[in-house]
Structure 1
């Protein structure tokens, strides 16, 4: 798997046009931000949309014969995205409990849900650790709030939209699911799809201050 930064430098050195070099730089920056957010979808249409008004070429331009340098860079970033997909699937339980996720039609939503499941499991593990803390010291000095906010991840708008859809009434109705009393999600037979707190954690994420 090629390092996107190395591919970027190699492609950049081959471009003679200042305009093409600037477009490649903008595309690389958008892909870096997208990857840093935890995204796995680096399709041409996705990157072109994210880079709209930022100097990234249109999807059609990238697909054209002259767009080969841009496609080479996007392919390198997509390879990283594919690697993350494998890591996300590797963190899933082997019992087949979440096999239904593969039935989601939208691949972006599918992997966002898988990633969310992994994050929920991680948060649950952290909560168990917090439960063992007997004494908590809070620093109320000026600047502490800014420090906390600066640690928040940078959620992209389409990622937030995917989370909203995951717990929306319309989506649950299409799947034949319902919300449980304590934030769980169950199927039409009452079988638990997501355990208690699933809806709650998504709503907490959506309530954070996003930049």
Structure 2
């Protein structure tokens, strides 16, 4: 925002003692340095800490009733930087967290779709739990003996046949999966499908994670 800090600073210094004027000048220099950074933090705690470290006024001086002119100067720079005097959220803040699967499920208005996706989420959580248990109980044995090349017995080769998905899903299950990734329905809801199969809402938030659409397409290809 286009704000003339010099005019505001001169107005704040009007009628003040020389000591207060010097403190305002020092604070203004510090705030200008913050303004030139990529990340702007104009909270009183942060500015007060930086000011005290550089020999200027402390956080208490800014918070005191008599420190209103300091707060006004900080607020002017914060406004110029299109922010406020509140502490900005850290990158680890829950504000940036991706919504959980069950929270994303609430975005689906179709009960049938919620039931299908709820079952998929439950199966996924079950597999993750089983995988975690397996990792906890795994035992690693390191064989320090010299490697030996054993002759290959052509007659001992084993071919493992995996069961087909055909017959595991009902027609209604297949229709529900097909409907879940139907392009017309996704577009009608204002959602989009990313290059890697994630479904995002109208403001770009991830509703279903990367690979979601691709996973359903793979399942449908096997039935």
Higher Cα radius of gyration: 2
Q: TM-score, length-normalised on structure 1?
A: 0.40
Structure number with higher helix proportion? 1
Q: What is the TM-score when the length of structure 2 is the normalising length? A: 0.38
